[in-house]
Structure formats: C-alpha cells, structure tokens
Amino acid sequence: MARLKIAVVISGRGSNLQALIDACADPAFPAEIVSVISNVPGAAGLARAEAAGLPRHVIDSRDFKDRDAFDAALDESLRQSGAKLVCLGGFMRLLSEGFVAKWRDRVINIHPSLIPAFTGLNTHERVLKAGARFTGCTVHFVRPEMDKGPIIIQAAVPVRPDDTTESLAERVLGAEHRIYPEAVRLIALNRVRVRGDVVLVDGASAPEGILVNPSL
C-alpha cells in the first residue's frame, strides 16, 4: 500500500513536526512527509526538517500584500510537492476561505484544548483561571474560522492543583505528540469519514487515553 504523502506547515519550533518525523521514520507507518513549509524564515522547525533530510521551503508571509496572495503561494507549493494531506503544526496564521475550500477535509490542525472549549490563544492560562479539572488537545479538520472544524481525535489531560501554565503546557504537549501521528495514521488508512460536522472512525480502537468517534 502506497504511503500517504503529507506536508507539514509550521511557524515556530516544530515539536509536533518532530512527532510526525519520528512516526514516519517507521517504514510501517502509512504516511510520509514530502514537504515542510514555514512562513517564518529561521523557524526552529526548519532545522528539524533539515536534520531529517526532508524537503523544506520558506514562504515568508511578510512578502505578500494580503492573506489570499500568501495562500495562493502556499497552495502552489503544496501541489508541487504532491502532498495529499496538510498538517498544520504551530502554524500561526488563519487560512482563507478559498484555500480551505480547495483543500477541504485535507487540512488538519492540532489545538491544545478539548475543542470546543478554550479555542484561541493563551489556552493554558485560561484553563487554570477557569478552574477546569480537565483539559487536553484536539486534532481537527480545518475550517475558515479559528480552531473550528470536525474533531478527529482528542486526548484528555487532568489539571493538577499545583499546575502552572508551564507544567500544564508540558503535559498537554506530550499528549499532542501522541495524538497527531495517530490522527495521520487513521486518515492514511482511510478509516476517517466526515459526516456533516462529525468525524466517524471505522474500526475505532484507539490507544488508551485517546478519544475518537466510532463509526456507527
């Protein structure tokens, strides 16, 4: 079976990129990274891609007059790479409605909360201020609105009484590194279907601590 070709789009350190690099290093993993794209020159994630011997590209968002122009350049780079799935890994821009329509259900993102709770920025600080007992992370298909779209997979992380934003962020990040490769694996195996705003997973039997919607 041919491996699914994926591109990873980043803006920063690329820790979730590294989780995907590590997963794809296993020949049995059903996906491979064909391109790493950063909108920020010098982003630390580019060094991770270089160390792994992956094709890497910089599309500096400051060079474009508006979001549509940047998204057109991103679209062209993705198509040239042959990618069939786009994984956003700490990509700090909203994609335009036109771009999302072209790549509908082929762009996924990871967010450090249990969506729909605590979307947006400063997530862990807001979780602690709200006194939430649980938080977590979510991989979802991308829609034009920030942190919206059908949920593919989630992991719950308990909030401890002595947590700081830093300690909570570290544990949630560990969960992110578990579920992002799992989401890609399920998609690559053609086990993920979108029905309306809900994702159903055929033969769902996720590892302990990972939450998916089983196919009915």
Please tell me the distance from the alpha carbon of residue 209 to that of residue 126, in angstroms, as a whole number.
23
Tokens of 113: 């909360």
Q: Give the CA angle between residues 181, 84, 156 to the nearest 5°.
A: 25
CB-CB neighbours of 208 under 10 Å: 5
213: Cβ–Cβ under 8 A, 6 or more apart, which residues? 151, 198, 199, 200, 201, 204
CB-CB neighbours of 5 under 10 Å: 16
Tokens of 31: 């996906």
DSSP output for 53-83: T--EEE--GGGSSSHHHHHHHHHHHHHHHT-
Q: Is position 177 annotated as part of the catalytic site?
A: no
Catalytic center residues: 111
